[in-house]
Amino acid sequence: MTTEKKKIRLKDISIHTEEPLLTVTADDLMPLPPPLDQREKKAPYSPLSKDQKKSYECSLDGVSALALPKPKSKEEEEKLVERFIKGLEKLLSQNDNWLFWQPLIQSLESCVRCQTCSDACPVYVSSGNQEIYRPTYKSEILRRIINKYIKKRRKILSKLTGDDIELNWPTVARLAELAYRCSLCRRCAQRCPLGSDNGLIGRELRKLFSQEMGIAPKELHDSGTIQQLRVGASTGISSAAFQGMVEFMEDEIEEKWGKRIKIPVDKEGADILLIHNSGEFMSWIENPVAFVIIFEASGLSWTLSSEIYGYEATNYGTWYDDVQFARIAIKQVEVARKLKVKKMVMAECGHAHKGLIVIADRILVDEMNFPSESFLPLLEDLILHDRLKLDPQKNNFPVTLHDPCNVVRLMGIVEPQRRILKKICPQFREMEPHGVENYCCGGGSGFAIMNSMNFKEWRENISSRMKLKQILETFNDVLDPGIRKYVCAPCSNCKGAIRDILSSNDLWEKHSIYYGGLVELVANAMVDMKKPFIDWEWH
């Protein structure tokens, strides 16, 4: 028997309680289609241990993305609240926050509370419409806090305008966690009839916590941007280690293609500097290998870089910190300038596309304003102009495409990847919805690499649930394990999130649903490959 949950109100954000404001249960979750509909119901995430609860903030939903330590005294709490208010003032100041002031103010002022955005949010829907995950929940709270503590509305007006939220430590701690329950896919912003961007409000909150209070997930900051600025890559790969990987790739190429080639590295004056998410070298080396084969077979003038910052496309600053974002973008461009290449091409990494090609566009001036583009139009040109000899029959298995939000909705690259897949995959089928209406993989905005305490479980069972549902629906007529199926995810973070949901639901083992990038399919279709490029070995 299920008990009716208490409706959470806006002002509940500030209540002092030992228990979380909400715990999502198995009964709350959006149902999944076959074959997962018959599976035994399980809580979406485990409760934190007693010690964890004692040490870390988890009063929002019992999940800890930030591993935020509990303040040790009332004074410390008050000091943190003060710092939050200071940060909020800066967020709303044209001088301090010139980078996002205008869209932030527009988003705060234009919402008519019509809740049209709610159903667009995969987290809100997957969790069974939990109020705290509604896209407008954190925005409305922030709006009311601003009215009460920054605009300092008088008491009577405050009552009328509903600005009765108390800004105390529980409010600040819950807002910090809440900023990391939205994957910044901005599907809600796309849906909003008035252009209010709740995704941006979430990102600005993350920024306030990072830039003013030094609070950010360890995976994004300490072992993310800080590590990248220190050693060259967020994965920790050094330049020497990268060069070792290049040699390994040459061996792989010889084995699959039958040709021994020298991969161009640090080739000055090449047309193209290709930059990968360094996670590809660690987890999916076949992806950069496929790029090498395609580029070499097409006769392009191109190079990789072994220079510090030159072999890492990621820029986690995109998700939480403008300063770290700018620092990394500048370092990446400096490498390209030094190599005297004509342009930078982003490989299969969604946020690197949006970050360097679109967002950084208005930070980089003069000679730093360097041409950069996506690999997708380039790849499309090569394929549609027959620069590669391809046999689509080599890819004669069901293939579907996951659209990375950063590449599609947030950058407008929608058709090239489809034209490629239609040409090389006879059984290509779309997910529904797709294109700019796509759903996030659940790993966006850093979620794919954040594994603090029970956050990974939350991601797999709530944040990625909608993507899991879409994949199952797309392949519902070919679930037979005898038929191999391929989810094409041309983005490193998306690939990681999709790997995790396929793996934790045994979908490769029981139903042969595999995943990978786009270039792997292109390489697999090449007629002169010695061995099939896709080896269907789970990793």
Partner 1 sequence: MGGVILFIFYGSILFFIIATALRVRRCVNAPIHLHWELYKGGSIYELTEWWTKTHSTSGKKFWFMILDILFLREFYYRNRRFWYPLYVFHIGLYLLILWHAWLFIRAVVGDIETVSIFGWIWGTFSTLLTFIGGIAILIMRMRDEELKVYYPPIHYLKWIFLLLTLVGGVYAVDVHFKSSMPALLKYVREQVTFSDFERKLHPAFGPALHILFASVWLVYLPFSHLFQLFFRYYHYLRWDDVPNIRGSEMERRIKEHLERPATWSALHIQSGKRWREIASELQQTSLTESK
Site for partner 1 in 174-203 (CB under 8 A): 186, 189-195, 197, 200
Cβ pair 400, 429 in contact under 8 A: yes
| Nearer Cβ to partner 1 (256/353) | 353
Q: Which helix (H) or strand (E) holds 400?
A: strand 399-401
Q: Among residues 282 and 368, whose Cβ is nearest to partner 1?
A: 368
C-beta of 510: minimal distance to partner 1 in Å? 37
**CA dist., res. 119 & res. 113, Å (int):** 13
At closest approach, how far in Å is the CB of 94 from partner 1? 6
β-pair partners for 272: 302, 343
Least distance from C-beta 55 to partner 1, angstroms? 12
Candidates 20-28, 259-267, 366-374, 445-453; binding stretch for partner 1 (CB under 8 A): 366-374
Distances (CA, A) of 339 to 176, 266, 271, 332, 366: 41, 7, 10, 11, 17
Tokens at residue 359, please?
């967002």
**What does the block give as tokens for 238?**
């050094």
The alpha carbons of the chain give a radius of gyration, in whole angstroms, of: 24
Least separation, in Å, of the C-beta of 225 and partner 1?
9
Specify the stretch interacting with partner 1 by CB under 8 A; choose among 43-51, 248-256, 368-376, 395-403: 368-376
User: Interacting stretch for partner 1, rule CB under 8 A, among 286-294, 369-377, 494-502, 529-537?
Assistant: 369-377
In order, the DSSP letters of 471-506 are HHHHTTT---TTS-EEEE--SHHHHHHHHHHHHHTT
How many residues bind to partner 1 according to rule CB under 8 A?
A: 96
CB neighbours (10 Å) of residue 207? 27
Number of H helices, E strands in the chain: 23, 8
Helix (H, G, I), strand (E, B) or coil at 412: coil
Instruction: Rank residues 153 and 484 by Cβ distance to partner 1 and give the closer one.
Output: 153
Q: What b/e readout covers 166-203, taking b as 16+ CB neighbours within 10 angstroms?
A: ebbbbbbbbbbbbbbbbbbbbbbbbbbeeebbbbbbbb
> What one-character-per-residue DSSP string does 39-75 give?
SPP--SSPPPPHHHHHHB--TTTS--SS-PBPPSSHH
Give yes or no for residue 273 binding partner 1 (CB under 8 A): no
Q: Which stretch binds partner 1 (CB under 8 A): 220-228, 260-268, 278-286, 482-490?
A: 220-228
Q: Which of 31, 79, 112, 538 binds partner 1 (CB under 8 A)?
A: 112
Exposed (0-12), middle (13-18) or buried (19+): which is 358, by Cβ within 10 Å? Answer: middle
Q: Which of residues 243-262 bind partner 1 (CB under 8 A)?
A: none
| x/- letters, 223..242, toward partner 1 (CB under 8 A) | ---x--x-------------
Smallest distance, partner 1 to C-beta of residue 28, A: 17
106 binds partner 1 (CB under 8 A): yes
User: 70 or 484, CB closer to partner 1?
Assistant: 70
3-class secondary-structure state, position 114: coil
Residues 80 to 99: which contact partner 1 by CB under 8 A?
83, 86-87, 90, 94-96, 98-99
> Which string of b and e fits 37-50 if b means at least 16 CB within 10 Å?
eeeeeeebbeebee
Tell me which residues in 456-515 interact with partner 1 (CB under 8 A). Answer: none
Q: Please tell me whether residue 337 binds partner 1 under the rule CB under 8 A.
A: no
Q: How many residues does the chain have?
A: 539
**Smallest distance, partner 1 to C-beta of residue 343, A:** 7
Binding-site member from 26, 261, 323, 384 for partner 1 (CB under 8 A): 323
> In the range 440-459, which residues lie near partner 1 by CB under 8 A?
none
Binding of residue 9 to partner 1 (CB under 8 A): yes
CB of 503 to partner 1, least distance (A): 29
Contact pick of 398, 404, 416, 517 for partner 1 (by CB under 8 A): 416
Looking at 280-288, 355-363, 440-448, 514-522, which segment touches partner 1 (CB under 8 A)?
355-363
Under the binding rule (CB under 8 A), the answer on residue 145 touching partner 1 is no
